[in-house]
Structure 1
Amino acid sequence: MTPSSMTFSDVLARTVLDSLSAHISIIDQKGIILETNQAWRDYARRNRLEGDADSVGTNYLAICESASGEEAENGAQVARGLRMVISGEAREFLYDYPCHSPEGRHWYYMRAIRMVYDGPVLVVISHEDITDLKLTEEALKEGEAALKEQAISLEETNIALKVLLKQREADRQELEQKVLGNMKELVFPYVAKLKKAGLKATERTFVEIIDTHLKDIISPFLQRMSAANIFLTPQEIQVASLVKDGKSSKEIADILNIAETTVHFHRRNLRTKFGLDNRKTNLRSYLLSLS
């Protein structure tokens, strides 16, 4: 059709077709290309495809079905889809495929749709460049994989830190136990003997100061009952446990088969060892706070 013989509708259709960015071709029921747009022709020239740039007269189906190598599977699937649209089994066929070249990687989205009109079968085929979309998808997948890797690494690090913290806590408790045990066995017995010795008033004051400061030093360790147990006598531990359970002095005396005055004596010792100088501080409340 020459420009002079084209109607306004023909000019409009050609203008719209050439304005589209997708590579478009129109084929008949045999797969012969009847028309292509400007984007198709530009692509053919850039890539130096065989034959005329407009490809008119080329059998699209034959090209797809003759594809070999890596393109064979894509060609076969496209040919099957086109035949289904041509026969009326499907109104459209969608397919995305790679089309790499020495210039770089490219992907295209193909859509074939059967024209609805009173006339011979015609199928419009469009190829839209979706390279940017594919590259973005790849970048997102790589990002997701990197994030997953980081999450696994962080989880492993977290587990390792928990193990280290648990070991550190065990080491700390062991150290506290050793310090308290050594103080009880190696220091306080001698301090007690010094207190009973015939010391001068000044010397007795020095011993009292030493005793007080030693107890101040180890007082942080006594914040946990498990550590404090080392510093308590076996019967003091029993009394402390029953006081914590809410037993009265008389009930404790009956349970342990000791005098009630002995229970009072142990309670005073417990208050002293825990540094509860303020009489308003309840011994049971304090013991419960250590649980």
Structure 2
Amino acid sequence: MVDNNLYKVVIDSMSAHVAILDEQGKIIETNRAWQEYGRQNGMRESFESIGINYLAICETATEHPEDDADRVARGIRNVMAGELDEFLTQYPCHSRDQKRWYAVRVVPYRDHNVHRVIVTHENITPIMEVQEALQAKEAELIRQSERLEETNIALRVLLRQREEDKTRIEETIYANVDRLVLPYLEKLLQGHLTEKQRTLLEVVDTNLRDIVSPFLHSLAALNMSLTPQEIEVANMVRSGKSSKEIADVLNLSVSGVDFHRKRLRSKLDLTHTSKNLRSYLLSLA
């Protein structure tokens, strides 16, 4: 008697809904949680469910061979037959105003060589809600990732288009300068000019040719902080102008031009070499 009372106390203390089935699948014992669930869900009598054939209910509730009731029924039979030591599954049990999930566990219960089973239904709703939230978050992250990838693709297309437009514009400018400007400069240079006018026109001619050549791009690629004055001096040195000619055109003293030459050699890392400044600048073209 003491053992039976202890047994009853133990199963009644469990939060899971517990039922013991006999070899035909009839309920011969339930715990308090099972009975309370029956009360809460509209059972008017027999909250204990004693005598109800639980296995038959599962089998008759089956609408499809692989639905939840069918899986539970087959699991109970497999445990009863000794084919499984334990059967586990989970199923939804939603009402109109509440979502609920349960985990079913079936284990054998040997009583005087009679094959009985213990069926427990554990409410796993909090766990499933967390899983649903995580799945929803994962799905949202996937959607965001896909949108980001689409945006990246669009940006790459725009950047490629921008580069193509830039190249096309540069080619147009180069072609127009070469075809529409330089020929007239050459004609001007063949005319009667003062020395200063000729030098200025030669500088203009050189600079325009630099626009359609990679010299300035190469100079910029060296990532040096050249001042506008130093760029002007570099252009004219590259064109073969002497310090005096450069000084006359830029309204500088010869010593000022020499100072810029020295600064250029320093920035071009030519200070400790014997390399000619003009030769180096020509090599950048």
TM-score by length of 2: 0.69
* Pairing 1:21–2:15 present: yes
What corresponds to 1:281 in structure 2?
280
Inter-partner Cα distance in structure 1 for 2:54 and 2:34: 13
What corresponds to 2:69 in structure 1?
75
Counterpart residue identity of residue 157, structure 1: T
Counterpart residue identity of residue 128, structure 1: E
What corresponds to 1:167 in structure 2?
161
Root mean square deviation, CA, Å: 3.2
Inter-partner Cα distance in structure 2 for 1:135 and 1:45: 25
TM-score by length of 1: 0.68
* Pairing 1:30–2:24 present: yes
Inter-partner Cα distance in structure 2 for 1:222 and 1:215: 10
Inter-partner Cα distance in structure 2 for 1:198 and 1:18: 118
Counterpart residue identity of residue 75, structure 2: G
Q: Bigger CA drift: 45-54 or 15-24? A: 45-54
What corresponds to 2:60 in structure 1?
66
What corresponds to 1:134 in structure 2?
128
Matches within 5 A, 1:1-291: 6-7=1-2, 9-49=3-43, 51-67=45-61, 73-116=67-110, 118-208=112-202, 210-211=204-205, 214=208, 223=217, 272=239, 278-279=277-278, 281=280, 286=284
Counterpart residue identity of residue 190, structure 2: K
Q: Bigger CA drift: 48-57 or 166-175? A: 48-57
CA shift, 1:183, in A, is 1.3
- Partner-residue secondary structure (3-state), 1:279: helix
Q: Bigger CA drift: 144-153 or 81-90? A: 144-153
Distance 1:119 1:70, change over 3 A: closer
> Deviations for 1:172-193, whole angstroms, at most 9, x for unmatched residues?
1111111112112221222222
Inter-partner Cα distance in structure 2 for 1:156 and 1:179: 34
Counterpart residue identity of residue 56, structure 1: I
- Partner-residue secondary structure (3-state), 1:56: coil
Given that residues 93 and 100 in structure 2 are in contact (C-alpha distance below 8 angstroms), is that contact kept between their aligned partners in structure 1?
yes
Inter-partner Cα distance in structure 2 for 1:53 and 1:72: 29
Name whichever structure is richer in helix by fraction. Answer: 1
What corresponds to 2:232 in structure 1?
none
Q: Bigger CA drift: 196-205 or 128-137? A: 196-205
What corresponds to 1:248 in structure 2?
none
Given that residues 176 and 221 in structure 1 are in contact (C-alpha distance below 8 angstroms), is that contact kept between their aligned partners in structure 2?
no
Given that residues 19 and 119 in structure 2 are in contact (C-alpha distance below 8 angstroms), is that contact kept between their aligned partners in structure 1?
yes
Distance 1:282 1:130, change over 3 A: same
* Structure 2, unpaired ranges of 5+: 219-237, 241-267, 269-275
Q: How many equivalent residue pairs?
A: 232
What corresponds to 1:259 in structure 2?
none
* Structure 1, unpaired ranges of 5+: 1-5, 225-270
Given that residues 66 and 72 in structure 1 are in contact (C-alpha distance below 8 angstroms), is that contact kept between their aligned partners in structure 2?
no
> Deviations for 1:211-259, whole angstroms, at most 9, x for unmatched residues?
45545666668638xxxxxxxxxxxxxxxxxxxxxxxxxxxxxxxxxxx
In percent, how many aligned pairs have the same letter?
Answer: 44
CA shift, 1:153, in A, is 2.7
Given that residues 64 and 70 in structure 2 are in contact (C-alpha distance below 8 angstroms), is that contact kept between their aligned partners in structure 1?
no
Counterpart residue identity of residue 145, structure 2: A
